[in-house]
């Protein structure tokens, strides 16, 4: 045992740099895998904890169309058992704020007449830590999502656009408002003092709207209550209903994406780390072949020889894994705090879960490292002392390398045919096939990771370029109706018809539809409520796209979201029965599309289809406008905003989407940058280690090169050139994988949110730039590792 310890410590002291890099490699693998486990373990838990704490709603009913009596509906739900409801909230809608000198037009606000507590559902969690009864007069409470997006703090004054005037109110508190506080949203509930609401908001033109939240003891039973409601009322519920899936989806999607990417890439890095450790041991055995042979000839057994490597890497693994585990906890907090900041009240610390799972993963990693060490160190068992002393390797390996280097192909790569630098670089790669294969694999994966991160971030930040592929329109301008009671459809239509700069217009409303399951097939399934887009105009002209098929044009046609198609096994040409305002309509499916909004639980129908149900339907939520000349977009937006500022908010498509997805892109930058930097660092470490080993094995050859007149710089440049060529091949393969293979993994995550084909924006200049970072890391790693050639004399190199 004493001999094993001495040999292990000797190896640790002798190869300090290489052992240091191996330790760092294990640390980084632990860091990435443990961080991914913690993030995945916490995904959903933070939302669930806050939803339970607030006794959050599962459905939100909004009354803006005067199709149902809000008080009657509210009273009915209050009477139901195993159901809790929030207060009936009275509100008006406003659009746009001015804060800190910045005009923010694309922010849609529900100005709430705050009721007095207590509330049974959707209790507000206050950032200040206090529990005020009502906002003080002249002040408001705003949600964390709004405060975080625009960096608003308690005590700041916000100017709200209220028709032709501005309403200045001070932020007295910031609240976690679960139903309307998700990140990446441009809607928010602003809680006002009742006196301010009556004096400043009710005085505006228009009527009050109402909403309330419903919390079910068992959410899966909600369809039974709705069936009961429809049986007991002559008029079905025709207003807007927001489902729990829509409430929770944007809280969870970013952590799902980050966690999934990190766990996959962590596993990839772990595999690379283990293979690298195996190669390091294998090449270390080869480099010390004679020494091991001499030790075995002196009586050291194979078990003890293997044990020296196990002890060495057990020490290195412990030194690496424990800090890696602690760093993973430290790094996980900021990553999660960025993506779930809207669920944090004030300085509340994030409750960490998954530490136990991370400990188990770390223990498994430690065991896996030792297992690989024993597998690769087992080669020492087969070392024959005589062959080791004679060849410096096994006789079979010596013959195999000699045969490989003497094939006609290798003989053709001679000093007489090609420049010396080319031959040296090429022979270095081909004589160390396993190391070259590892470098190729590593640079390929590192390039793929960097390219994937860059493409994902640019695709989300530039979503306006691929809006139609995310389920949105592709019109130049959107005029969103924020005050329906004061909105004049006829007046806006007249203005648009008289403007010769406008090419075409589409008027879009929405309604709810219900798909009832076929009880003869499945008696356990429940009804599905889906969001129906109703368009008076051409879906094609406004840029709405489908994955398959076409948009509806006739009264009996519909295009459905992918999740509806998947749930009910529907495809093009199939018939689907949908209940609209209580009336059954049968549609022919002409298209299937994907949409992140409403998680693709939606459909598109024509205005004629809606009129077949309700001939007086004129509800319009947004007007899409295309112009003849894109230069005229901003002037038209400005003119329409001035003319219809009391009822609509007119913005460009880019402004509309940026207000929602710019924050998502910013959040993705941090974890993607961390992963990219780790892979660049790993690329450098592994290439440094493998090159250092191969240089040590070829020390005699390089000594001969120096003795015949080659300089250290020439030899080092030749080695680096070979590595650059090999890593360039790996980077090119990585580009293909990063663009065409890895996004498929993201689609597995996003499919549940309504996106089955990830719309990518390919900026080839940026892609090539990020792929080149891998090549630079590889080149630098090989160059640094070859410094030993510069500091050694030809005589010493030959002696070694």
Which of 463, 604, 600, 498 has the alpha carbon at shortest distance from 542?
604
Mean predicted confidence (pLDDT) in 324-350: 74
Lowest mean pLDDT, pick from 111-115, 129-133, 454-458, 581-585: 129-133
Using the 8-state DSSP alphabet, how is residue 221 labeled?
G
**Predicted local distance difference test score (pLDDT) of residue 283:** 64
In the predicted structure, residue 81 carries a pLDDT above the cut 50? yes
Nearest-Å Rg of the Cα atoms of the chain is 33
Least confident of 202-206, 211-215, 255-259, 442-446: 255-259
Identify the pLDDT of residue 684. 86
DSSP H helix total and E strand total for the chain: 27, 21
CB of 147 closer than 8 Å to CB of 153:
yes
Residue 393 pLDDT? 46
| Cα separations in angstroms, 353 against 37, 300, 324, 502, 566 | 10, 48, 17, 55, 33
Residue 388 reports pLDDT greater than 50: no
Helix (H) or strand (E) holding 170: strand 165-176
Whole-number pLDDT of residue 410 = 53
pLDDT (tens digit per residue) in 455-508 = 988 988 888 888 899 989 999 999 888 777 677 888 888 899 888 999 999 999
Question: How far is C-alpha 432 from the chain's CA centre?
Answer: 39
3-state helix, strand, coil in the chain (%, to 5): 55, 20, 25
CA dist list (Å): 19 to 13, 166, 629, 755: 9, 66, 64, 45
Most distant CA atoms of the chain, gap in Å: 102
pLDDT tens for 41-72 read 776 677 888 888 899 999 999 988 788 899 99
- The number of beta carbons lying within 10 Å of the beta carbon of residue 16 is 9
In this prediction, residue 386 has a pLDDT band, given cuts at 50, 70 and 90, of very low
Q: In the 8-state DSSP scheme, what is residue 470?
A: G
State the pTM of this model: 0.79
Q: What is the distance between the alpha carbons of residues 173 and 183, in angstroms, rounded to a whole number?
A: 18
Q: Which two tokens stand for residue 758?
A: 């990830």
Residue 262 neighbours by CB distance under 10 Å? 26
Residue 36's Cβ-count burial label (10 Å; 0-12, 13-18, 19+) is buried
Looking up tokens 């209940």, which residue turns up?
Answer: 579
Q: Are 562 and 603 in contact, with CB atoms under 8 Å apart?
A: no
Where does the pLDDT of residue 715 fall: very low under 50, low under 70, confident under 90, or very high at 90 and above?
A: confident
Terminal C-alpha separation, the chain: 29
110: three-class secondary structure by DSSP: strand
Pairing of strands 240-242, 59-63: antiparallel
* Closest to 256 in 3D by CA, of 785, 788, 749: 749
- Per-residue pLDDT of 272-291, as tens digits, reads 777 777 777 766 666 565 66
Q: Compute the average pLDDT of residues 776-783.
A: 90
Q: Judge contact between 343 and 337, C-beta under 8 A.
A: no
| pLDDT band for position 706 (cuts 50, 70, 90) | confident
Q: What pLDDT is recorded for position 88?
A: 94
């Amino acid at each position: 045992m004493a001999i094993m310890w001495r040999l292990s410590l000797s190896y640790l002291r002798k190869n300090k740099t290489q052992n240091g890099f191996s330790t760092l490699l294990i640390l980084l693998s632990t860091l990435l895998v443990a961080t991914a486990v913690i993030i995945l373990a916490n995904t959903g838990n933070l939302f669930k904890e806050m939803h339970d704490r607030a006794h959050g709603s599962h459905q939100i009913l909004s009354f803006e169309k005067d199709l149902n009596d809000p008080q009657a509906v509210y009273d009915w739900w209050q009477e139901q058992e195993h159901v809790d409801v929030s207060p009936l909230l009275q509100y008006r809608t406003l659009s746009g704020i001015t804060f800190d000198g910045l005009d923010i037009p694309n922010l849609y606000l529900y100005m709430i007449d705050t009721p007095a507590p207590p509330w049974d559902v959707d209790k507000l969690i206050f950032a200040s830590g206090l529990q005020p009864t009502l906002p003080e007069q002249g002040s408001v409470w705003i949600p964390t999502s709004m405060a975080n997006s625009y960096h608003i703090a308690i005590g700041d004054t916000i100017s709200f656009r209220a028709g032709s005037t501005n309403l200045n109110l001070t932020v007295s508190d910031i609240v976690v408002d679960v139903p309307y506080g998700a990140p990446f949203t441009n809607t928010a509930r602003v809680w006002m003092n009742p006196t301010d609401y009556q004096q400043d908001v009710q005085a505006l033109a228009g009527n009050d709207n109402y909403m309330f939240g419903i919390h079910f003891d068992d959410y899966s039973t909600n369809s039974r209550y709705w069936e009961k409601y429809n049986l007991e009322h002559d008029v079905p519920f025709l207003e807007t209903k927001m489902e729990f899936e829509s409430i929770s989806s944007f809280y969870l999607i970013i952590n799902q994406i980050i966690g999934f990417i990190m766990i996959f890439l962590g596993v990839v890095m772990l595999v690379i780390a283990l293979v690298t450790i195996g190669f390091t041991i294998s090449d270390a055995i080869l480099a010390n072949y004679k020494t091991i042979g001499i030790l075995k000839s002196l009586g050291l057994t194979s078990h003890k020889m293997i044990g020296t490597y196990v002890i060495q890497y057990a020490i290195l693994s412990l030194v690496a894994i424990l800090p890696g585990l602690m760093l993973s906890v430290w790094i996980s907090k900021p990553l999660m705090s960025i993506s779930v900041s809207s669920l944090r009240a004030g300085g509340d610390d994030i409750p960490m879960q998954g530490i136990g799972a991370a400990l188990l993963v770390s223990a498994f990693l430690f065991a896996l490292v030792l297992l690989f060490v024993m597998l690769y160190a087992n080669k020492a068992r087969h070392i024959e002392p005589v062959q080791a002393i004679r060849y410096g390797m096994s006789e079979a390996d010596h013959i195999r390398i000699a045969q490989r280097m003497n094939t006609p192909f290798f003989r053709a790569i001679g000093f007489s045919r090609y420049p010396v630098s080319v031959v040296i670089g090429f022979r270095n790669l081909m004589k160390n096939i396993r190391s070259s294969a590892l470098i190729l694999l590593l640079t390929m994966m590192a390039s793929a990771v960097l390219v994937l991160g860059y493409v994902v971030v640019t695709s989300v930040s530039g979503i306006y370029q691929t809006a139609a592929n995310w389920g949105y329109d592709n019109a130049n301008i959107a005029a969103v109706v924020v005050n329906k009671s004061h909105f004049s459809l006829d007046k806006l239509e007249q203005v648009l018809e008289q403007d010769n700069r406008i090419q075409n217009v589409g008027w879009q409303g929405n309604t709810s539809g219900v798909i009832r399951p076929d009880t003869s097939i499945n008696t356990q399934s429940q009804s599905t409520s889906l969001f129906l887009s109703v368009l008076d105009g051409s879906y094609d002209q406004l840029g709405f796209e489908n994955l398959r098929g076409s948009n509806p044009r006739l009264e009996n046609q519909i295009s459905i979201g992918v999740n509806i198609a998947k749930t009910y096994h529907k495809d093009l040409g199939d018939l689907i029965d949908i209940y609209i305002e209580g009336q059954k309509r049968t549609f022919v499916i002409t298209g299937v599309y994907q949409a992140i909004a409403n998680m693709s639980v939606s459909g598109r129908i024509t205005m004629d289809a809606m009129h077949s149900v309700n001939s007086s339907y004129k509800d319009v939520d947004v007007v899409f406008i295309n112009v003849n000349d894109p230069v005229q977009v901003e002037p038209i937006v400005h003119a329409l905003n001035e003319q219809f500022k009391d009822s609509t908010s007119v913005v460009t498509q880019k402004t509309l989407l940026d207000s929602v997805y710019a924050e998502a892109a910013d959040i993705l930058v941090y974890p993607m940058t961390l992963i990219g930097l780790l892979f660049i660092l790993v690329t450098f470490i592994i290439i440094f280690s493998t090159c250092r080993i191969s240089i040590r094995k070829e020390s005699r050859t390089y000594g001969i090169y120096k003795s015949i007149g080659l300089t250290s710089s020439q030899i080092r440049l030749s080695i680096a050139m070979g590595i650059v060529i090999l890593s360039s091949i790996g980077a090119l393969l990585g580009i293909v994988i990063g663009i065409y293979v890895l996004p498929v993994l993201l689609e597995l995550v996003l499919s549940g949110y309504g996106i089955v084909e990830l719309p990518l924006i390919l900026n080839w200049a940026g892609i090539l730039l990020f792929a080149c970072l891998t090549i630079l890391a590889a080149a630098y790693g090989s160059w640094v590792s070859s410094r030993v050639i510069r500091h050694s004399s030809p005589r010493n190199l030959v002696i070694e």
